[in-house]
Each structure stands twice: as C-alpha cells, then as structure tokens.
Amino acid sequence: MRNRLRGVFLLLAVFALVAASCSSDDADDTTTTAAAATTTTAAATTTTAGGTDTTAATTTTAAEIGIESNPDEGVTDSAIKLGFMGDITGPTAATQLFFERGISCYLDFANSQGGVADREFELFTEDDAFSVEDAVVNFQKLVEDDQVIAILGQGGSHIMSAIDVDVADAGVPFIGPQQTIDIQFANPYVFNVLAHYGDQADVAVARMIEDVGGAENLVVASIGLEVASGLEWGVYVKDTTEKLGATYTEHINVPITGTEADAQVIRIEELIDSDGLNYLALHGSPGAALRVLNSMDAAGVDLPIGGIFATIAENVFIEGPADLIDTFWGVHTYTPSNVSTPGNDELNAFVAGTACEEFASNVNFVGGWVVAKLAVEGVKRAAADGTLGRQVLADAIKRIDDFDTGGQSPALSCTREGSHCGAAARPYEWDGTGLQPVGEFADWSDTLDLIYGLG
Amino acid sequence: MEKFIELTLSGIAIGSVYALVALGFVLVFKATDVLNFAHGEFMMLAVFLSLTLLVSWGLNFIVSGIVIAVLMAVLGLVIFFLVMKPLVGQPLFSVVLVTIGIAIILRAVVLITYGPVERGRINVLPQGRFDIGDISVSYIGMILFGVSAISVLAFLWFFNRTRTGLRLKAVAENLEAASAMGISAVAAFAISWGIGALMAGVAGTLYSNFTPVIDTNLSAIGLRAFPAAVLGGLNSIGGAIVGGLIVGIVEQLAAGYLGGEWRDVVAFGLMFVVIIVRPYGLFGTPELIRV
C-alpha cells in the first residue's frame, strides 16, 4: 500500500514537472501576440526633435510587401524570428529578466503596430543561468534549430568572450549585449548599445569630482565583484581618476561566492582613516550593491557611492539602507520609464493594463525595449531594400545613424567604429520614487575620453 | 590589533551560522552516510520563509523561528520518506546526485515563488553596534553567536541525554548492533533528516537578520559549511561546530588582510591541508574495518 502511495506521489511529481516545463516553454521560448499580420501600412509616425522616426513598425513600403521567406535565417511566411539569450533564473536574473521582458514587450508593441513586411515578430528565449556552457549550447540552438535572424541581449562578459568567434562564424547579428567590452568592438556582427565600462567610469568620476568640489578633493576607491568586469571597472576608474588629477586608492574585491562584505567594509574604514577616502565607485549586480550597502550600514560607515549601470536597479534603492541611499547614484545609458520622454510615454501607454506593466518600472526593462526597437528598425530598413536575412540585417543596422529612441537612450549611431551604437551615459539619482537623470546625455559627453568608439 | 579583533568577531558571527549548517550536514551524514548537498538550499529556504513570516505576515521573531523550524523538520521528513528512504543501500554516487537534484528543485521553487529580485536584510533583530574600547561590536553578530551556542547546546543535550538522541547516536555509531538491540534504523534516519533540516531552519531564521541581501545565492552557505564539516571531521558533531567557527574566522581574516580574492582560497586551502594531515578531520575518528 505504501509503495503504491509512493508511486502515486512520484507520478504526480513527474506530471507536475512536465506540466511546469511545458508551461515554461510556452511562456519563455516563444512570445507572439495576436496582432493582425495583414497590415501593410501602420499607425501614426512620431517625429521628434531629432527628426527620426521613433515608433516601431510604422510604414511598410511597397518593397516589403513582396519580401520572400528565408526560413533558414529566421524569416517564414508569417513570422520574423528573433532570439534572446541570457540569465533568467541565475545570479543576475534580477537584471536580465527585466531586459528580456523589455525586448518581449517591445516586440508585442511592434506586432500591435502591424509587424514588418506582413509578418509578426516571434521571440525565442533561452536561459543560461549565467553559465558559459549553457550559453554556448543556447547559441547553437537559436542559430541552427530555431534559425533566428538575430539575437538580442545576453549578459556576462565571460559568456560573450566564449561565443564571440561563433557569432562571427555564424554571421548572425547580435544586438545590444548587456555589457560592452573591447572584444565586442572587433566583431562585425555585434551591435553595442550600452556605454562601455570605460565611458561609464569617465562619467562617474566626473560626477564625483563635481560632488566634492574639484579633482584635488576626490579620494576614491573602487569596489566590485571578483569577476573580470569588476577588475576592469577598477582599472577604468583608476585611469580616469589619475588622468583628472584626483586620488585613487585601491580596488576592493567582493567574492562572488560570499554572502556579506564585512571584511571589505573594515578595509574601507581603514582607507578612510589612512588616506582620507571620500568616495566609492561600485561595480556589480543589484545583489552585490545591496551586499555592500547593507554591510556598510551595519558597520556604521557612511560614504557617497557612484555605481556602474547594473547597480542602480529599483530594488537596491527600495531595499537598501536609507542613510546610504541618499548619497548613492549610478551611471546608465537608458532612461527609466518614470522619466517622461516621448519614448517612455509610448512605452507606458502600451504596457498599461498588460502583463508587461509589472516589469516596466525597472530601468533594464527600458534597456530591452530600446534594444528591440533598434532591432526592429534594422529589420524595417532591410525589408525596405526588398530582402531579409542575417547579412542583410547586419548591413542595414550598420547604416543606422542618429536614430532617436525618443529620449530612452542617447541617439543610436551604429555607423560608429566598432558598431558602438549607444556610447553615452549620464548619472541617475533616486528621488524617493524613481531614478531621475542628472542633466542630458550631451551634458556629460565632454567627460568621455573618446577612447571607446565615440567621436 | 583592533582590526584583527573586529575581523575575528565578524568571523565568529558568520562562523556560528556555518557551524549550525555544518551540524545538520554532519548529523545526516553520521546517521545515514548521505552527503546532503541540498543542505545549503534548506537554509536558503528558511531565510525566504523568514521573509514571509517576519516581514509579510509580521509575526514575532520567536514564533516565526519556531514555525520555520517545524516546517523545515517536516520538509526533512518528507524528503526522507519520499526520496531518500527508497535509496537506502544504493550506490553513494546515486544518492549524492539525488541530493543535488533536490537542491535544484528547491532553488527553482524559491525562484518561482519569490521571483529573482533581491531583498534587503530583515531588521527585526537589533542592528546597531556598541563599542568596547576601540573595538566596534555588532549586536546582531553577538545575537547570532549566542543563539547558535544555545542551539548547539540544546542539540548536544538532546543527542546525549534523551532516549531518542541516544538511539540516534547508537545507530550512527553502529547500525548493525543498534538494529540487533531493537532500535529502528528507519526511524533514526528519519529523525536525523528532520533534525538536520530543523537546524538549517534555525540557521536560516537567524541569518535572515544578518545577511545584507536575500537571494537564491544564499545557498552558497552550504558550500562554506562543507569545508567546515570536513575540517572538523565529517563524523564529529563537536568538530562541525569548531570547523564552522574556524572557517568563518579564517575567511574574514584572509579577506581583511589579503583581500577578498583570498577568502575562498584560504578556507578551502586549509581544508586540503587538514585532509592531507588528518584525513578524518580535526576531531573526526578514523573508521576501522576489521578484515
């Protein structure tokens, strides 16, 4: 009897797991919307100060109507297939999940506008849980099995380094990775949207100098997760600090396997006493930011902190210690949706009352939205030339210049060297309810040293 | 000197949690010969349950701790009867793989239930600091140490003074002899799993007020408890406690003096050295096999 009961339990468990994986497949692997696939012209075209179209699929040209299917490269009779690869369930899911939702929701929006070339966008999402091994397999699956036309997103410099050669070999456009590292500039199929860490460091240090009233007053240390990008951040902060005549003390590592940062905070206290440390430049995920901020708070250490883009997620400001949050700010390329801009107004109007709404307040959601907007613009331009395929799409994106995202990011110019479409950043501060930009992107462009593809 | 003392105190606080987790880990191993690689996930689950009971439901800390400890004990029993009991006598490798599977499922359940967004520390217990001379001491660190010490003493009392505890001890020492004396091995195994999970529940409840961030990465505590258990001796209850404290202190001193990147290197390096010199750990006893 007991064996039978156990059998029933096991059977139920198996059913539950199968059901869960099926529903997960439905939710994650493919996202489509019910938008009509027959529209040949679309809704209104919004023109902004920049003079460039900011809506998704706005005008379908005569050439697009006759686009031939190219199923091996993501273009079927009814769909244009795009892929997303990233960490949906792993240690950086709190950042990357929102990015994926932003992409998915923008494609819903584009489909609601009629799609492109008589076709809807379909998104294939693959979760790597921040694992290189999983990511390599996911990349092959998206390229060879799902046969997508392009891949969007992807967070993790270690993963990008591992698949860089495969991306070039496959010739598949890789749009808007969630980090911009040097290796990506040399790959003709990678289109970078986020500002390079070096540029983010430039803006961050400039803001710190402004805060303390001059370079001679700034004594800064960098602190970050013990990963390659964390060490890079330390190097960039050091370079910029010293170039501008301020004082850099040292880089402090926070182990990725640790759960607190007590020893690191004791070191910070030492630097305050010995070197007059008066600013921290923080690298890491939202979780790492909370770890450092709460450990500092527990030790009673109060110091202003400027963070890299990934540290300024909404939950850090809500869950972090009030005393330190007051003087914590970060640098980012994307404008959070609580800031009214033409692009964000369009976003908020679309997500209201939909499943997208609960994700939209996170700045990474806007990041995904902007990256998908760039991809759709590329598809539109390729289709306008009368054909769709991976190489055609890559060529089309390379021609995109001064593309206005409606204030959700700096104007995107993929004609720049290294296809560095975004390339700018500005500081953001928390006002108690949301992140607010400190000035315009242009206000901070003078601080960039023009090393990383700007100019 | 001041820095050394502060790092040591910080190490004692975190080491107390390692000790509690290692204790559960060792108990299950000692009684059942199973290396439970899901033990860190047990603790992580308890931290998330604290989030629900302490923050969302606003329960009193002690009530919440008791509820979580009971829930975790029940979870331990359920896992034993549904999953582990059928595997008694199966190859060690299969059993270990199953515990890894349990860990993956627990992480997935927490992720689905609570989502991926990190939460900050729970501030139900006092978070301030007090000074002793030039040394700054945190209340929560001392509470962590005190409650852990009381839990360990209660555990030792149960293990050495109660009839059930003595039966568990007998099964752990010599399964055949204990069975011949009429002690149910299955009951002893089940109780070991229940108490092991309960200890993880106590550790999780305490740690939820200490950890600066609550996310699924907290299961990494299981990875810290492993060297603690091995260091002290996988079959030594007292060794688990001392091992936990040693790992906590050594980690903090390494991170404080050599840099964060040395934290794991020194902790695991120490474990290697001890294994080479004393393969059964500092306080473990070698298993004698008569042929």
Q: Which of A9, A291, A315 is nearest residue B212 as measured by Cβ atoms?
A: A291
Which of A258, A286, A295 lies at the smallest CB-CB distance from B118?
A: A286
From residue B154, alpha-carbon distances to A11, A95, B173 in Å are: 40, 42, 20
Interface membership of A431 toward B (CB under 8 Å)? no
pLDDT, position A182? 82
Rg (alpha carbons) of chain A, rounded to whole number:
23
Which tokens in the block code for residue A161?
A: 């380094």
For chains A and B, what is the number of CB pairs under 8 angstroms? 113
A101 inside 8 A of chain B by CB: no
Cβ–Cβ of B212/A254 closer than 8 Å? Answer: no
Rg of chain B over all Cα atoms, to the nearest angstrom: 19
Exposed / middle / buried, residue A244 (Cβ in 10 Å: 0-12, 13-18, 19+):
middle
Tokens 């070039």 — which residue? A168
| Separation CA B239–CA B244 (nearest Å) | 8
Q: State the pTM of this model.
A: 0.82
pLDDT by residue, tens only, chain A of 455 residues? 445 445 444 444 444 444 444 333 333 333 333 333 323 223 333 333 333 444 444 445 545 557 889 999 999 999 999 999 999 988 888 889 999 999 999 999 999 999 999 999 999 999 998 899 999 999 999 999 999 999 998 888 889 989 999 999 999 999 999 888 888 888 999 999 999 888 899 999 999 999 999 999 999 999 998 888 888 899 999 999 999 999 999 999 998 777 888 889 999 999 999 999 999 999 988 989 999 999 999 888 999 999 999 999 889 999 999 889 999 999 999 999 999 999 999 999 999 999 999 999 999 999 999 999 999 999 999 999 888 999 999 999 999 998 999 999 999 999 887 778 887 899 999 999 999 999 998 888 877 765 544 43
DSSP A413-438: -TTSGGGB-----EEEEE-SSSEEES
CB-closest option in A89, A93, A298 to B127: A298
Average confidence (pLDDT) per 10 residues, chain B, 291 residues: 87 90 87 88 96 93 95 96 88 89 94 89 85 83 89 86 87 83 89 93 92 89 83 83 91 89 86 87 72 58
Which chain A residues touch B129 with a CB distance below 8 Å? 298-300
Q: How far apart are the C-alpha atoms of A166 and A130, rounded to whole Å?
A: 18
The residue behind tokens 């060792």 is B26
Q: Is B14 on the interface with A (CB under 8 A)?
A: yes
Question: What CA–CA distance (Å, rounded) separates B168 from B286?
Answer: 20
**How far separated are the first and last CA of chain A, in Å rounded?**
76
Is ipTM beyond 0.90?
Answer: no
Of A91, A94, A255, the CB nearest to B264: A255
Residue A26 has what pLDDT? 37
Interface contact flag, B116 A319, Cβ < 8 Å: no
Q: What CA–CA distance (Å, rounded) separates B235 from B174?
A: 12
Q: Are the C-beta atoms of residues A280 and A223 closer than 8 Å to each other?
A: yes
User: Which residues pair with residue A119 across a beta bridge?
Assistant: A116
Selected residue of A23, A259, A317 to mutate for chain B interface (largest B Cβ count, 10 A): A259
Chain B CB contacts of A291 under 8 Å are 212-213
Alpha helices of B162-236 — where are they, by DSSP H?
A: 163-173, 175-180, 185-207, 221-232
